[in-house]
Amino acid sequence: MTTQAPRLIRTTRLLDDVEARIRSEFSAPPPPEAALGTEELLELAHAYQPFAVLVTHTSPLKGADVQALPESVKLVATVSVGLDHLDVPALLARNIAVSNTPDVLTDCNADLAIMLILAASRRAAEYYTLMKAGWGRTLGMGEMLGHRVSGKRLGIVGMGRIGQAVAKRARGFDMSILYHNRRQLDPAEEAGATYFDKLEDMLPHCDILSLHMPGSPSAPPLINAQTLSLLPHGSVLVNAARGSLVDETALKAALKSGQLFAAGLDVFRNEPNPDPALLALPNLFMTPHVGSATVETRTAMGMLALDNVSAMAAGKPLPSGVSA
C-alpha cells in the first residue's frame, strides 16, 4: 500500500472526464498525441517506471513484450472487455495483475447489435447509397424490399451479459429468442428463450443469427460454409463480437448466392483493413468496430480501469480483475 499518487501510463488519450481524474488522483505523463504501439509503450514504461499501465488493442502485450515490462509494473489494466491483445497467463506468471472493463459496455454493444439487425434486414446500406447518389426516381412496389424484423426468430450465440441484453431488446420487436451457450441459463435469465445444446440444431430455426461470444484468431471460425448452409435460405447474420468467429470467404459466398439475405458486421478478421471484396458487397451493412463508441460508455470504461488502479495501489481486491 502507498500514500503517494499511483504512477501510471496510458497508451491513448482517454475521454475528458477520465483525463481529469488522472490529473487529480494519479501521477502520469501527458497523454500521447496518437495511440502508442507496443514498442512505444515499452519505451515509455522504462522511462517512467509506472505502477500501472492502461492499454487498448493498439498495444498488444504478448510473449517477449510481457517479459520486457519493467519490474515497477504491478497492473496492466486494459480499457476493453476483450483480452485478445494480452498474454494473460504470462502477465500473471510475472505477478502482474490484469483487469478489464466488463459490464459497462453491455448496453451500448447490445444497442449496436440491434442496429445491425435492423440495418441489415431493412437494406439500410443500399438505401443510403441510393440517397447519396441523389435518388432520382420512384421505386416500384416490389423494388429494393427488405425484411420485417418484428416477429422473427432470433438465434443468439453466447448468452452472456450482452447476449441477454440483445434478447431483452429483441423482445420489444416480438421476436422469438433461441440461444446456444456453454450452459443453459436458469429460467429467470432465460426469460422464455429456447436453449439449444448444439449450435447445429439451432441454426435451421434462425431467421436472424447474432454472435455474442469470445473469439480466438487461432481457433477455426465458428461460422463457416457448413454452418451457414444450415441457416434458412435468406436469413441474416450479425456479428458484433469478434471477427475471428466468421470465415469471410464463406460469408462472401453466402451473401452472393442469397443463402444470406444480408449481414451486419461491426468486426472483421483483418482490422482495420478488412477484405475490400467483402466491403464491396451491397447487402452488407458495416461499422468500424464501434460497439462501445459512446461518450457514456467510453467514459465508464476509463473510470473502471482507474478504479482497478486505485484498488491495486490500496491493496484492495480489483473491481474487475482477470484470472488465468
> Catalytic one among 10, 269, 289, 298?
289
- What pLDDT shows up at residue 216? 81
Determine the Cα–Cα distance for residues 145 and 277; give it in Å rounded to an integer.
24
Whether residue 259 is found in the same domain as residue 133: yes
> Catalytic one among 123, 180, 242, 298?
242
- What pLDDT shows up at residue 1? 46
Query: Position of cell 439449444?
Result: 196
The residue among 183, 270, 263, 168 whose CA lies nearest residue 223 is 263
Is the pLDDT assigned to residue 209 strictly greater than 80?
yes
Whether residue 72 is found in the same domain as residue 98: yes
Spatial contact of 224 and 200, defined as CB atoms under 8 Å apart: no
Whether residue 273 is found in the same domain as residue 127: yes
Q: Is 274 a member of any domain? A: yes
- The model's pLDDT over 255-289, given as tens digits with 9 standing for 90+, comes to 999 999 999 999 999 999 999 999 999 999 999 99
Whether residue 167 is found in the same domain as residue 308: no
Whether residue 98 is found in the same domain as residue 140: no
Q: Is 1 a member of any domain? A: no
* CATH number of residue 72's parent domain: 3.40.50.720
Other CB atoms within 10 Å distance of the CB of residue 285:
25
User: Beta strands 75-78 and 97-99: pairing type?
Assistant: parallel
Whether residue 16 is found in the same domain as residue 160: no
Which cell numbers in the block locate residue 68? 520486457
Q: Is 2 a member of any domain? A: no
Domain count across the chain: 2
Q: Is 318 a member of any domain? A: no
Does 242 qualify as catalytic in the annotation?
yes
Q: Is 100 a member of any domain? A: yes
| β-bridge mates for residue 97, sequence order | 75
- What pLDDT shows up at residue 3? 66
Whether residue 97 is found in the same domain as residue 182: no
Other CB atoms within 10 Å distance of the CB of residue 166:
29
Whether residue 274 is found in the same domain as residue 128: yes
pTM for the full predicted model: 0.93
> Which residues span the domain enclosing 72?
8-104+294-313
| β-bridge mates for residue 178, sequence order | 155, 194
Q: Is 133 a member of any domain? A: yes
Which are the contacts of 201, defined by CB distance < 8 A and separation ≥ 6? none
- The model's pLDDT over 17-70, given as tens digits with 9 standing for 90+, comes to 999 999 999 999 999 999 999 999 999 999 999 999 999 999 999 999 999 999
Q: Is 137 a member of any domain? A: yes
Spatial contact of 245 and 222, defined as CB atoms under 8 Å apart: yes
Determine the Cα–Cα distance for residues 72 and 55; give it in Å rounded to an integer.
16
Whether residue 58 is found in the same domain as residue 71: yes
Q: Is 213 a member of any domain? A: yes
Whether residue 196 is found in the same domain as residue 207: yes
Whether residue 266 is found in the same domain as residue 117: yes
- What pLDDT shows up at residue 225? 98
Does 271 qualify as catalytic in the annotation?
yes
> Catalytic one among 39, 43, 271, 296?
271
| β-bridge mates for residue 99, sequence order | 77, 321
Lowest mean pLDDT among 100-109, 120-129, 180-189, 211-220: 211-220
DSSP H helices in 32-105: 38-48, 64-67, 88-93
Does 200 qualify as catalytic in the annotation?
no
**To the nearest whole number, what is the mean pLDDT of the chain?**
97
Query: Position of cell 451493412?
Result: 285
Whether residue 49 is found in the same domain as residue 122: no
